[in-house]
Protein backbone atom coordinates (compact mmCIF):
# COMPACT_ATOMS: atom_id res chain seq x y z
CA UNK A 1 0.00 0.00 0.00
CA UNK A 2 1.31 3.45 -0.89
CA UNK A 3 2.06 5.95 1.86
CA UNK A 4 -0.85 8.10 0.67
CA UNK A 5 -3.31 5.21 0.77
CA UNK A 6 -2.07 4.25 4.22
CA UNK A 7 -2.58 7.76 5.59
CA UNK A 8 -6.00 7.91 4.01
CA UNK A 9 -6.96 4.65 5.68
CA UNK A 10 -5.66 5.86 9.03
CA UNK A 11 -7.72 9.05 8.71
CA UNK A 12 -10.90 7.15 7.87
CA UNK A 13 -10.36 4.72 10.72
CA UNK A 14 -10.00 7.56 13.21
CA UNK A 15 -12.91 9.47 11.72
CA UNK A 16 -15.05 6.34 12.16
CA UNK A 17 -14.11 6.20 15.87
CA UNK A 18 -14.88 9.89 16.34
CA UNK A 19 -18.25 9.49 14.60
CA UNK A 20 -19.11 6.60 16.93
CA UNK A 21 -18.44 8.85 19.91
CA UNK A 22 -19.73 12.25 18.76
CA UNK A 23 -21.89 11.47 15.75
CA UNK A 24 -20.92 12.22 12.19
CA UNK A 25 -21.41 15.93 12.83
CA UNK A 26 -18.50 15.62 15.25
CA UNK A 27 -16.24 14.58 12.36
CA UNK A 28 -14.62 17.84 11.30
CA UNK A 29 -11.36 18.41 9.45
CA UNK A 30 -10.07 20.53 12.35
CA UNK A 31 -10.87 18.02 15.11
CA UNK A 32 -9.36 15.14 13.12
CA UNK A 33 -6.20 17.05 12.25
CA UNK A 34 -5.66 17.60 16.00
CA UNK A 35 -6.29 13.94 16.88
CA UNK A 36 -3.98 12.63 14.16
CA UNK A 37 -1.27 15.25 14.47
CA UNK A 38 -1.73 16.19 10.83
CA UNK A 39 -2.03 19.65 9.36
CA UNK A 40 -5.46 20.78 8.20
CA UNK A 41 -4.06 21.23 4.70
CA UNK A 42 -2.71 17.66 4.83
CA UNK A 43 -6.19 16.42 5.61
CA UNK A 44 -7.72 18.56 2.88
CA UNK A 45 -5.36 16.88 0.42
CA UNK A 46 -7.15 13.60 1.14
CA UNK A 47 -10.70 14.87 1.64
CA UNK A 48 -11.91 18.01 -0.05
CA UNK A 49 -14.57 18.85 2.52
CA UNK A 50 -16.20 17.87 5.78
CA UNK A 51 -19.01 16.36 3.73
CA UNK A 52 -16.56 14.13 1.80
CA UNK A 53 -15.10 12.95 5.06
CA UNK A 54 -18.52 12.20 6.55
CA UNK A 55 -19.46 10.28 3.42
CA UNK A 56 -16.27 8.21 3.79
CA UNK A 57 -17.24 7.41 7.37
CA UNK A 58 -20.55 6.00 6.18
CA UNK A 59 -18.80 4.04 3.41
CA UNK A 60 -16.44 2.60 6.01
CA UNK A 61 -19.51 1.59 8.07
CA UNK A 62 -20.95 -0.10 4.99
CA UNK A 63 -17.68 -2.03 4.38
CA UNK A 64 -17.62 -3.21 7.99
CA UNK A 65 -21.30 -4.17 7.88
CA UNK A 66 -20.71 -6.25 4.75
CA UNK A 67 -17.74 -7.95 6.37
CA UNK A 68 -19.21 -8.52 9.85
CA UNK A 69 -22.86 -9.18 9.01
CA UNK A 70 -23.66 -9.81 5.33
CA UNK A 71 -20.78 -12.04 4.19
CA UNK A 72 -20.92 -14.47 7.13
CA UNK A 73 -24.73 -14.64 6.81
CA UNK A 74 -24.38 -15.60 3.14
CA UNK A 75 -22.31 -18.61 4.19
CA UNK A 76 -25.33 -20.13 5.96
CA UNK A 77 -27.65 -22.31 3.81
CA UNK A 78 -30.47 -20.45 2.01
CA UNK A 79 -33.79 -20.18 3.74
CA UNK A 80 -34.42 -20.13 7.47
CA UNK A 81 -30.82 -20.91 8.57
CA UNK A 82 -29.54 -17.89 6.62
CA UNK A 83 -32.31 -15.60 7.85
CA UNK A 84 -31.64 -16.60 11.47
CA UNK A 85 -27.91 -16.08 11.02
CA UNK A 86 -28.53 -12.66 9.45
CA UNK A 87 -30.71 -11.60 12.37
CA UNK A 88 -28.22 -12.82 15.00
CA UNK A 89 -25.25 -11.12 13.36
CA UNK A 90 -27.22 -7.93 12.88
CA UNK A 91 -28.22 -7.84 16.57
CA UNK A 92 -24.56 -8.39 17.55
CA UNK A 93 -23.27 -5.75 15.09
CA UNK A 94 -24.08 -2.86 17.46
CA UNK A 95 -21.73 -4.19 20.13
CA UNK A 96 -18.99 -5.50 17.84
CA UNK A 97 -15.58 -4.23 19.05
CA UNK A 98 -15.09 -2.65 15.63
CA UNK A 99 -18.09 -0.40 16.40
CA UNK A 100 -17.06 1.12 19.72
CA UNK A 101 -19.75 3.82 19.46
CA UNK A 102 -22.51 1.45 18.35
CA UNK A 103 -24.24 1.34 14.99
CA UNK A 104 -23.09 4.29 12.88
CA UNK A 105 -26.19 4.07 10.69
CA UNK A 106 -28.57 4.63 13.59
CA UNK A 107 -26.48 7.54 14.87
CA UNK A 108 -26.35 9.08 11.41
CA UNK A 109 -30.07 8.49 10.85
CA UNK A 110 -30.98 10.64 13.81
CA UNK A 111 -28.56 13.35 12.70
CA UNK A 112 -29.48 13.38 9.02
CA UNK A 113 -33.20 12.68 8.98
CA UNK A 114 -34.10 16.35 8.52
CA UNK A 115 -31.17 17.40 6.33
CA UNK A 116 -30.67 17.11 2.60
CA UNK A 117 -27.48 16.25 0.74
CA UNK A 118 -25.15 13.53 -0.52
CA UNK A 119 -24.50 12.11 2.95
CA UNK A 120 -28.20 11.64 3.66
CA UNK A 121 -28.75 10.17 0.16
CA UNK A 122 -25.98 7.64 0.72
CA UNK A 123 -27.35 6.69 4.12
CA UNK A 124 -30.86 6.23 2.73
CA UNK A 125 -29.45 4.02 -0.03
CA UNK A 126 -27.65 1.77 2.48
CA UNK A 127 -30.83 1.41 4.52
CA UNK A 128 -32.92 0.59 1.47
CA UNK A 129 -30.36 -1.99 0.36
CA UNK A 130 -30.35 -3.54 3.78
CA UNK A 131 -34.12 -3.77 3.81
CA UNK A 132 -34.09 -5.31 0.31
CA UNK A 133 -31.47 -7.82 1.36
CA UNK A 134 -33.53 -8.80 4.40
CA UNK A 135 -36.71 -8.99 2.29
CA UNK A 136 -34.84 -11.21 -0.19
CA UNK A 137 -33.67 -13.50 2.62
CA UNK A 138 -37.31 -13.85 3.75
CA UNK A 139 -38.40 -14.59 0.17
CA UNK A 140 -35.82 -17.40 0.01
CA UNK A 141 -37.49 -18.89 3.11
CA UNK A 142 -40.75 -18.94 1.16
CA UNK A 143 -39.06 -20.52 -1.88
CA UNK A 144 -37.40 -23.13 0.33
CA UNK A 145 -40.82 -24.00 1.74
CA UNK A 146 -39.91 -22.84 5.25
CA UNK A 147 -42.46 -20.02 5.27
CA UNK A 148 -46.03 -19.91 3.93
CA UNK A 149 -46.30 -18.61 0.35
CA UNK A 150 -48.89 -15.91 1.17
CA UNK A 151 -46.77 -13.90 3.64
CA UNK A 152 -45.73 -10.25 3.22
CA UNK A 153 -41.91 -10.49 3.01
CA UNK A 154 -41.34 -6.75 3.27
CA UNK A 155 -43.54 -6.55 6.35
CA UNK A 156 -41.43 -9.29 7.95
CA UNK A 157 -38.24 -7.33 7.17
CA UNK A 158 -39.73 -4.15 8.70
CA UNK A 159 -40.60 -5.98 11.88
CA UNK A 160 -37.23 -7.69 12.13
CA UNK A 161 -35.54 -4.31 11.68
CA UNK A 162 -37.73 -2.98 14.51
CA UNK A 163 -36.46 -5.75 16.79
CA UNK A 164 -32.87 -4.78 16.04
CA UNK A 165 -33.59 -1.10 16.76
CA UNK A 166 -35.39 -1.98 19.97
CA UNK A 167 -32.53 -4.25 21.03
CA UNK A 168 -29.97 -1.50 20.48
CA UNK A 169 -32.04 1.05 22.34
CA UNK A 170 -32.52 -1.16 25.40
CA UNK A 171 -28.98 -2.42 25.42
CA UNK A 172 -27.11 0.83 24.81
CA UNK A 173 -29.29 3.32 26.64
CA UNK A 174 -30.92 1.27 29.39
CA UNK A 175 -28.02 -1.24 29.60
CA UNK A 176 -30.72 -3.88 29.92
CA UNK A 177 -29.06 -7.30 30.44
CA UNK A 178 -32.14 -8.98 28.93
CA UNK A 179 -32.08 -7.04 25.65
CA UNK A 180 -30.74 -9.99 23.65
CA UNK A 181 -33.14 -12.45 25.23
CA UNK A 182 -36.08 -10.17 24.35
CA UNK A 183 -34.84 -9.77 20.77
CA UNK A 184 -34.38 -13.48 20.15
CA UNK A 185 -37.70 -14.38 21.78
CA UNK A 186 -39.46 -11.82 19.59
CA UNK A 187 -37.72 -13.07 16.46
CA UNK A 188 -38.73 -16.66 17.21
CA UNK A 189 -42.34 -15.55 17.61
CA UNK A 190 -42.15 -13.63 14.34
CA UNK A 191 -40.77 -16.69 12.56
CA UNK A 192 -43.42 -19.00 14.06
CA UNK A 193 -46.18 -16.68 12.86
CA UNK A 194 -45.18 -17.16 9.20
CA UNK A 195 -44.08 -20.80 9.24
CA UNK A 196 -46.04 -23.43 7.41
CA UNK B 1 -47.49 34.48 34.87
CA UNK B 2 -44.53 36.60 36.04
CA UNK B 3 -42.20 38.15 33.48
CA UNK B 4 -39.39 35.85 34.65
CA UNK B 5 -41.51 32.71 34.30
CA UNK B 6 -42.62 33.85 30.85
CA UNK B 7 -39.05 34.39 29.68
CA UNK B 8 -38.05 31.04 31.11
CA UNK B 9 -40.86 29.34 29.21
CA UNK B 10 -39.89 31.10 26.00
CA UNK B 11 -36.29 29.95 26.40
CA UNK B 12 -37.28 26.33 27.01
CA UNK B 13 -39.64 26.35 24.05
CA UNK B 14 -36.92 27.62 21.73
CA UNK B 15 -34.35 25.23 23.21
CA UNK B 16 -36.75 22.35 22.50
CA UNK B 17 -36.99 23.42 18.85
CA UNK B 18 -33.21 23.69 18.53
CA UNK B 19 -32.77 20.25 20.10
CA UNK B 20 -35.20 18.76 17.58
CA UNK B 21 -33.10 20.17 14.75
CA UNK B 22 -29.54 19.81 16.07
CA UNK B 23 -29.82 17.34 18.92
CA UNK B 24 -29.52 18.27 22.56
CA UNK B 25 -25.78 18.82 22.12
CA UNK B 26 -26.77 21.68 19.80
CA UNK B 27 -28.50 23.41 22.71
CA UNK B 28 -25.86 25.79 24.03
CA UNK B 29 -26.26 28.98 26.04
CA UNK B 30 -24.46 30.95 23.31
CA UNK B 31 -26.54 29.67 20.40
CA UNK B 32 -29.80 30.23 22.28
CA UNK B 33 -28.85 33.74 23.39
CA UNK B 34 -28.31 34.60 19.69
CA UNK B 35 -31.63 33.06 18.60
CA UNK B 36 -33.62 34.80 21.33
CA UNK B 37 -31.81 38.12 21.28
CA UNK B 38 -30.94 37.75 24.94
CA UNK B 39 -27.57 38.27 26.59
CA UNK B 40 -25.63 35.20 27.67
CA UNK B 41 -25.71 36.48 31.24
CA UNK B 42 -29.50 36.84 30.98
CA UNK B 43 -29.72 33.19 29.98
CA UNK B 44 -27.38 32.15 32.75
CA UNK B 45 -29.73 33.84 35.23
CA UNK B 46 -32.38 31.28 34.23
CA UNK B 47 -30.18 28.23 33.66
CA UNK B 48 -26.91 27.82 35.48
CA UNK B 49 -25.27 25.63 32.86
CA UNK B 50 -25.61 23.97 29.48
CA UNK B 51 -26.42 20.75 31.31
CA UNK B 52 -29.30 22.40 33.23
CA UNK B 53 -30.69 23.68 29.96
CA UNK B 54 -30.44 20.26 28.29
CA UNK B 55 -32.17 18.67 31.26
CA UNK B 56 -34.99 21.21 30.93
CA UNK B 57 -35.34 20.28 27.26
CA UNK B 58 -35.87 16.63 28.22
CA UNK B 59 -38.33 17.64 30.94
CA UNK B 60 -40.24 19.68 28.36
CA UNK B 61 -40.30 16.58 26.14
CA UNK B 62 -41.68 14.56 29.04
CA UNK B 63 -44.43 17.15 29.69
CA UNK B 64 -45.42 17.11 26.02
CA UNK B 65 -45.38 13.31 25.92
CA UNK B 66 -47.66 13.15 28.94
CA UNK B 67 -50.02 15.66 27.36
CA UNK B 68 -50.02 14.28 23.79
CA UNK B 69 -49.73 10.52 24.44
CA UNK B 70 -50.28 9.39 28.04
CA UNK B 71 -53.23 11.52 29.17
CA UNK B 72 -55.42 10.90 26.09
CA UNK B 73 -54.56 7.17 26.24
CA UNK B 74 -55.75 7.04 29.85
CA UNK B 75 -59.15 8.30 28.72
CA UNK B 76 -59.73 5.08 26.74
CA UNK B 77 -61.31 2.17 28.65
CA UNK B 78 -58.86 -0.17 30.43
CA UNK B 79 -57.62 -3.21 28.56
CA UNK B 80 -57.25 -3.57 24.82
CA UNK B 81 -58.92 -0.24 23.84
CA UNK B 82 -56.44 1.68 26.01
CA UNK B 83 -53.44 -0.32 24.79
CA UNK B 84 -54.43 0.28 21.17
CA UNK B 85 -54.93 3.98 21.81
CA UNK B 86 -51.55 4.19 23.54
CA UNK B 87 -49.81 2.54 20.60
CA UNK B 88 -51.53 4.78 18.01
CA UNK B 89 -50.77 7.98 19.88
CA UNK B 90 -47.20 6.90 20.45
CA UNK B 91 -46.68 6.18 16.74
CA UNK B 92 -48.13 9.61 15.90
CA UNK B 93 -46.05 11.39 18.53
CA UNK B 94 -42.96 11.51 16.30
CA UNK B 95 -44.75 13.59 13.67
CA UNK B 96 -46.84 15.74 16.00
CA UNK B 97 -46.47 19.43 15.02
CA UNK B 98 -45.24 20.14 18.54
CA UNK B 99 -42.23 17.87 17.76
CA UNK B 100 -40.89 19.46 14.57
CA UNK B 101 -37.60 17.57 14.89
CA UNK B 102 -39.19 14.22 15.74
CA UNK B 103 -38.96 12.33 19.01
CA UNK B 104 -36.53 14.11 21.33
CA UNK B 105 -36.00 10.94 23.36
CA UNK B 106 -34.69 8.97 20.38
CA UNK B 107 -32.41 11.83 19.36
CA UNK B 108 -31.11 12.18 22.91
CA UNK B 109 -30.70 8.40 23.28
CA UNK B 110 -28.26 8.27 20.42
CA UNK B 111 -26.34 11.25 21.78
CA UNK B 112 -26.23 10.17 25.41
CA UNK B 113 -25.91 6.40 25.27
CA UNK B 114 -22.16 6.48 25.90
CA UNK B 115 -22.04 9.45 28.27
CA UNK B 116 -22.61 9.64 32.01
CA UNK B 117 -24.35 12.39 33.93
CA UNK B 118 -27.65 13.84 35.11
CA UNK B 119 -29.05 14.28 31.62
CA UNK B 120 -28.50 10.64 30.73
CA UNK B 121 -29.91 9.51 34.10
CA UNK B 122 -33.05 11.54 33.52
CA UNK B 123 -33.47 10.17 30.01
CA UNK B 124 -33.03 6.58 31.22
CA UNK B 125 -35.65 7.19 33.92
CA UNK B 126 -38.19 8.47 31.36
CA UNK B 127 -37.60 5.43 29.16
CA UNK B 128 -37.96 3.01 32.08
CA UNK B 129 -41.18 4.74 33.15
CA UNK B 130 -42.52 4.53 29.65
CA UNK B 131 -41.74 0.83 29.44
CA UNK B 132 -43.38 0.26 32.84
CA UNK B 133 -46.43 2.18 31.76
CA UNK B 134 -46.71 0.11 28.59
CA UNK B 135 -46.14 -3.13 30.54
CA UNK B 136 -48.88 -2.05 32.96
CA UNK B 137 -51.27 -1.38 30.09
CA UNK B 138 -50.59 -4.91 28.78
CA UNK B 139 -51.17 -6.36 32.25
CA UNK B 140 -54.57 -4.63 32.36
CA UNK B 141 -55.41 -6.46 29.12
CA UNK B 142 -54.68 -9.73 30.91
CA UNK B 143 -56.78 -8.68 33.92
CA UNK B 144 -59.63 -7.65 31.65
CA UNK B 145 -59.50 -11.09 30.04
CA UNK B 146 -58.48 -9.70 26.63
CA UNK B 147 -55.08 -11.43 26.67
CA UNK B 148 -54.08 -14.90 27.85
CA UNK B 149 -52.92 -15.01 31.49
CA UNK B 150 -49.59 -16.74 30.72
CA UNK B 151 -48.11 -14.03 28.47
CA UNK B 152 -44.91 -12.07 29.14
CA UNK B 153 -46.17 -8.48 29.49
CA UNK B 154 -42.71 -6.94 29.49
CA UNK B 155 -41.79 -8.81 26.31
CA UNK B 156 -44.90 -7.40 24.67
CA UNK B 157 -43.91 -3.87 25.70
CA UNK B 158 -40.39 -4.38 24.30
CA UNK B 159 -41.79 -5.52 20.98
CA UNK B 160 -44.32 -2.71 20.78
CA UNK B 161 -41.53 -0.22 21.48
CA UNK B 162 -39.54 -1.80 18.65
CA UNK B 163 -42.45 -1.19 16.28
CA UNK B 164 -42.51 2.48 17.23
CA UNK B 165 -38.74 2.80 16.69
CA UNK B 166 -38.95 1.03 13.36
CA UNK B 167 -41.87 3.26 12.28
CA UNK B 168 -39.93 6.42 13.13
CA UNK B 169 -36.83 5.19 11.33
CA UNK B 170 -38.69 4.32 8.13
CA UNK B 171 -40.85 7.39 8.18
CA UNK B 172 -38.26 10.03 9.05
CA UNK B 173 -35.20 8.70 7.28
CA UNK B 174 -36.61 6.74 4.35
CA UNK B 175 -39.79 8.87 4.12
CA UNK B 176 -41.61 5.59 3.54
CA UNK B 177 -45.31 6.32 2.90
CA UNK B 178 -46.16 2.81 4.17
CA UNK B 179 -44.45 3.21 7.56
CA UNK B 180 -47.73 3.60 9.43
CA UNK B 181 -49.39 0.71 7.62
CA UNK B 182 -46.45 -1.56 8.50
CA UNK B 183 -46.56 -0.46 12.16
CA UNK B 184 -50.27 -1.04 12.57
CA UNK B 185 -50.18 -4.39 10.75
CA UNK B 186 -47.33 -5.52 13.01
CA UNK B 187 -49.16 -4.36 16.12
CA UNK B 188 -52.30 -6.24 15.11
CA UNK B 189 -50.25 -9.41 14.64
CA UNK B 190 -48.61 -8.91 18.01
CA UNK B 191 -52.01 -8.48 19.66
CA UNK B 192 -53.44 -11.56 17.93
CA UNK B 193 -50.51 -13.66 19.14
CA UNK B 194 -51.44 -13.05 22.80
CA UNK B 195 -55.22 -12.94 22.59
CA UNK B 196 -57.32 -15.63 24.18
Cα–Cα distance between B146 and B80 in angstroms, integer? Answer: 7
CATH 1.10.1060.10 corresponds to the domain A50-194: no
**pLDDT reported for residue B30:** 87
Q: What is the DSSP letter of A77?
A: P
- The pTM assigned to this predicted structure is 0.91
**pLDDT reported for residue A113:** 84
Q: Decide if pLDDT at B13 tops 80.
A: yes
Q: In this complex, is the C-beta atom of A150 within 8 Å of any C-beta atom belonging to chain B?
A: no
Q: A77 Cβ partners below 8 Å, 6+ apart? A: none
Phi/psi at A150 (nearest 5 deg)?
-90, 10
**pLDDT reported for residue B4:** 84
Number of other CB atoms surrounding residue B139 within 10 Å = 17
Chain A residue whose CA is closest to B170:
A158
**pLDDT reported for residue B185:** 95
Q: In this complex, is the C-beta atom of B102 within 8 Å of any C-beta atom belonging to chain A?
A: yes
Number of other CB atoms surrounding residue A108 within 10 Å = 26
CB burial of B106-134 (b: ≥16 within 10 Å; e: otherwise) equals: bbbbbbbbeeeeebbebbbebbeebbebb
* Confidence class for position B50, pLDDT limits 50, 70, 90: confident
Kindly tell me the sign of the dihedral angle through the C-alpha atoms of A179, A183, A189, A192: negative
Min Cα separation A4/chain B (Å): 33
The arithmetic mean of pLDDT across residues B171-177, rounded, is 90
Domain boundaries along the sequence of chain A: 50-194
Q: Decide if pLDDT at B33 tops 80.
A: yes
DSSP secondary structure letters along A8-63? HHHHHHHHHHHHHHH-GGG--HHHHHHHHT--HHHHHHH-SSHHHHHHHHHHHHHH
DSSP secondary structure letters along B117-186? SHHHHHHHHHHHHHHHHHHHHHHHHHHTTSB-TTS-HHHHHHHHHHHHHHHHIIIIIS--TTHHHHHHHH
Q: Decide if pLDDT at B192 tops 90.
A: yes
Number of other CB atoms surrounding residue A136 within 10 Å = 12
> For residues A107 and A24, is the Cβ–Cβ distance under 8 A?
yes
**pLDDT reported for residue A164:** 95
* Confidence class for position B137, pLDDT limits 50, 70, 90: very high
pLDDT along chain A (196 residues), means of 10: 87 92 87 88 86 94 97 97 97 93 91 89 95 96 97 95 93 91 95 93
Cβ-Cβ contacts under 8 Å, B107 against chain A? 110
* Confidence class for position B154, pLDDT limits 50, 70, 90: very high
Q: Provide the number of CB pairs (under 8 Å) joining chain A to chain B.
A: 106
Cβ-Cβ contacts under 8 Å, A115 against chain B? none
| Residue of A28, A34, A4 lying closest to A15 (CA atoms) | A28
Chain B residue whose CA is closest to A113:
B173
**pLDDT reported for residue A99:** 92
Interface of A with B in 17-76 (CB under 8 A): 21, 23, 25
**pLDDT reported for residue B64:** 97
Chain A residue whose CA is closest to B192:
A193
Q: Decide if pLDDT at B1 tops 80.
A: no
The predicted-structure confidence for B75-122, as pLDDT tens digits, reads as follows: 999 999 999 999 999 999 999 999 988 899 999 998 888 889 999 999
DSSP secondary structure letters along B15-77? HHHHHHHH-GGG--HHHHHHHHT--HHHHHHH-SSHHHHHHHHHHHHHHHHIIIIIHHHHTSP
| Residue of B91, B109, B103 lying closest to B161 (CA atoms) | B91
Cα–Cα distance between B12 and B152 in angstroms, integer? Answer: 39
Identify any residues that bridge with B138 across adjacent strands, giving them in sequence order: none
Angle between helices A50-65 and A118-143 (to 10 degrees): 10
Across the interface, do B113 and A189 touch by the CB < 8 Å criterion?
no
**pLDDT reported for residue A2:** 86
Q: A52 Cβ partners below 8 Å, 6+ apart? A: none
Q: In this complex, is the C-beta atom of A94 within 8 Å of any C-beta atom belonging to chain B?
A: no
Number of other CB atoms surrounding residue A146 within 10 Å = 18
**pLDDT reported for residue A28:** 87
Please state the CATH superfamily assignment of the domain spanning residues B55-194 in this structure. Tetracycline Repressor, domain 2 (1.10.357.10)
Amino acid sequence: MSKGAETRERIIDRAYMVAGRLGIEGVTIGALADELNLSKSGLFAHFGSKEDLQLEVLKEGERRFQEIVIKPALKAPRGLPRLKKLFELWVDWDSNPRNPGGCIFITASVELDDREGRTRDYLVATQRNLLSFMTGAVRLCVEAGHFRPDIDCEQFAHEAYGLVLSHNHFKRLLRDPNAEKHASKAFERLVRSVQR
